[in-house]
Amino acid sequence: MIAKPLNEVKIADLQALLGNVREGKMIEFKREMPARTPDEKIKFLAAVSSLANTAGGDLMVGIEAVDGLAQVISGIEFSNIDAEKLRLEQLLATLIEPRLPRVDMEAVDAGGNRYVMLVRVPRSWIGPHRVVPNDKFYGRNSGGKYPLDVGELRTAFVLSETAAERIRAFRSDRLIKIAAGDTPVPMHPGARMAIHAVPVSTFAAARTLDIVQEMGRGHVMPIPPGRMGHPNEYRPNLDGLVIFTNPGAGQLAGGYAQVFRSGAVEGVDVLHIDDQTDAPYLLGMTFESTAVSAIENYVTFVKSLGLGYPIVIFVSFCGMAGCHLRTPTEIGVGYYNAGPLTQDVIPLPEINLESDTQDVSDMLRPVFNQVWNAFGFMGSTKYDQNGKWIGRV
């Protein structure tokens, strides 16, 4: 695998491979583009899925290898590079299951109207991935790709299940602490909305990051939910780093974003309190836009760390017993309180973001519907007849 972003790879980088680099665990060479025959399609699918199932890496089409050693940059003539990329993307989307979270492609000019197609495949944490036409799973070692045996398949499935268990346990532990008031900064008492964005890669590999050092590199700053544009402060802590709304000396915070050493982000927002009854209420006009904006911010941050997809998203509520949902009346004067709820902690279903093509608001619709259902509504009022979200304010 070339240690450069794909869009920065030049012909000189490829020439440096000749006579020096062999096919192995993270690299494979192909002289020709996969033809439209079943056998050629399977070879391409096997190469890509084997990289995703193992450690990730690069497939380089347009480089000839002898006994696995790169020898000649032959290049490929393309009548339409974009059309060829689209063909390969469609093959991967329809003939590998589950669908790969991400595959990047870049055509490197080799001169003479010929190109080398680089296909970069990150390691996938939602595998193992199966090649549909021959119903096989592939892995890689120093000798290249090979079909996984039963024992290796069992290990791959267990690894995927273990990552899911760790992520759900993390969320459960955090909700217990949030509900008990054990938060990174002192907060106003009452009901709270909690948002978690969790990168699967670090939980699957049980690894941690030096978050304080990473934040010093100018990554996107996670912001407390609904606090974009507010005065926020940040400080390192035992778990990583916390960003919180600056409430003023001696006052309690209304929200925070905690970045954990796993790269996971936790955003918590204190809900409104009725001045007359001291009961909490969820503002129907704005809570969805607050959640969507926060999640988009956190996903951008996780990606900036290089952790990639998939990212598991959770929306939860704590301290909700006695909470109402406040919505405007039909005549536009005053408001209507639905509820109250009797449940205290509400962990809503997780959603899995697997690529940039997924729209956060679309993915969250079932989650938002469930919130509105809890207060007696048929579903969220913030989606039009075509299911498109219209709730941003």
Q: What is the pLDDT of residue 149?
A: 80
Same domain, 122 and 195: no
Q: What is the pLDDT of residue 246?
A: 67
State the Cα–Cα distance between residues 263 and 382, nearest whole angstrom: 31
| Model confidence pLDDT, tens digit, residues 71-115 | 999 888 888 888 989 989 999 999 998 888 788 899 998 888 899
| Model confidence pLDDT, tens digit, residues 286-298 | 899 999 999 999 9
Same domain, 136 and 168: no
| Model confidence pLDDT, tens digit, residues 120-164 | 998 887 778 999 999 999 998 888 888 888 877 877 776 667 788
Q: What confidence tier does 265 reach under pLDDT thresholds 50, 70, 90?
A: very high
Same domain, 300 and 355: yes
Same domain, 195 and 67: no
Same domain, 101 and 225: no
Segment 34-56 mean pLDDT:
87
The fraction of the chain above a pLDDT of 90, given in percent, is: 40
Q: Which domain holds residue 57?
A: 6-148
pLDDT value at 63 more than 70: yes
Higher local confidence (pLDDT), 1 or 115: 115
Same domain, 12 and 121: yes
| Model confidence pLDDT, tens digit, residues 152-186 | 787 777 666 778 888 889 999 999 999 988 999 88
Segment 248-254 mean pLDDT:
72
**Does residue 382 belong to any structural domain of this protein?**
no
Q: What is the pLDDT of residue 323?
A: 92
Number of domains into which the chain is organized:
2
**Does residue 379 belong to any structural domain of this protein?**
no
Higher local confidence (pLDDT), 329 or 390: 390
State the Cα–Cα distance between residues 23 and 210, nearest whole angstrom: 33
**Does residue 278 belong to any structural domain of this protein?**
yes
Same domain, 79 and 167: no
Token pair of 175, please?
A: 């909700």
| Model confidence pLDDT, tens digit, residues 314-327 | 999 999 999 999 88
Picking from 92, 113, 148, the residue at the C-terminal end of a domain is: 148
On average, the pLDDT of the chain sits at: 87
Segment 352-359 mean pLDDT:
83
* 3-state secondary structure string across the chain: CCCCCHHHCCHHHHHCCCCCCECECCEEEECCCCCCCHHHHHHHHHHHHHHHHCCCEEEEECEEEECCEEEEECCECCCCHHHHHHHHHHHHHHHEECCCCCCEEEEEEEECCEEEEEEEECCCCCCCCEECCCCEEEEEECCEEEECCHHHHHHHHHHHHHHHHHHHHHHHHHHHHHHCCCCCCCECCCCEEEEEEEEHHHHHHCCCCCHHHHHCCCCCCCCCCCCCCCCEEEEEECCEEEEEECCCCCCCECEEEEEECCCCEEEEEECEECCCCCCEEEECCCHHHHHHHHHHHHHHHHHHCCCCCCEEEEEEEECCCCCEEEEECCCCCCEEEECCCCCCCEECCCEEECCCCCCHHHHCHHHHHHHHHHCCCCCCCCECCCCCECCCC
**Does residue 1 belong to any structural domain of this protein?**
no
- Domain CATH code at residue 85: 3.30.950.30
Segment 205-228 mean pLDDT:
82
Q: What is the pLDDT of residue 331?
A: 61
Higher local confidence (pLDDT), 363 or 356: 363
Picking from 148, 178, 207, the residue at the C-terminal end of a domain is: 148
Same domain, 206 and 168: yes
Do the beta carbons of residue 307 and residue 266 sit within 8 Å?
A: no
pLDDT value at 393 more than 60: no
Same domain, 134 and 198: no
pLDDT value at 187 more than 90: no
| Model confidence pLDDT, tens digit, residues 172-181 | 999 999 998 8
Higher local confidence (pLDDT), 230 or 107: 107
Q: What is the pLDDT of residue 231?
A: 67
pLDDT value at 249 more than 60: no
Same domain, 186 and 139: no
Same domain, 206 and 354: yes
Higher local confidence (pLDDT), 201 or 45: 45
Same domain, 295 and 365: yes
Segment 344-357 mean pLDDT:
88
**Does residue 387 belong to any structural domain of this protein?**
no
**Does residue 233 belong to any structural domain of this protein?**
yes
**Does residue 386 belong to any structural domain of this protein?**
no
**Does residue 291 belong to any structural domain of this protein?**
yes
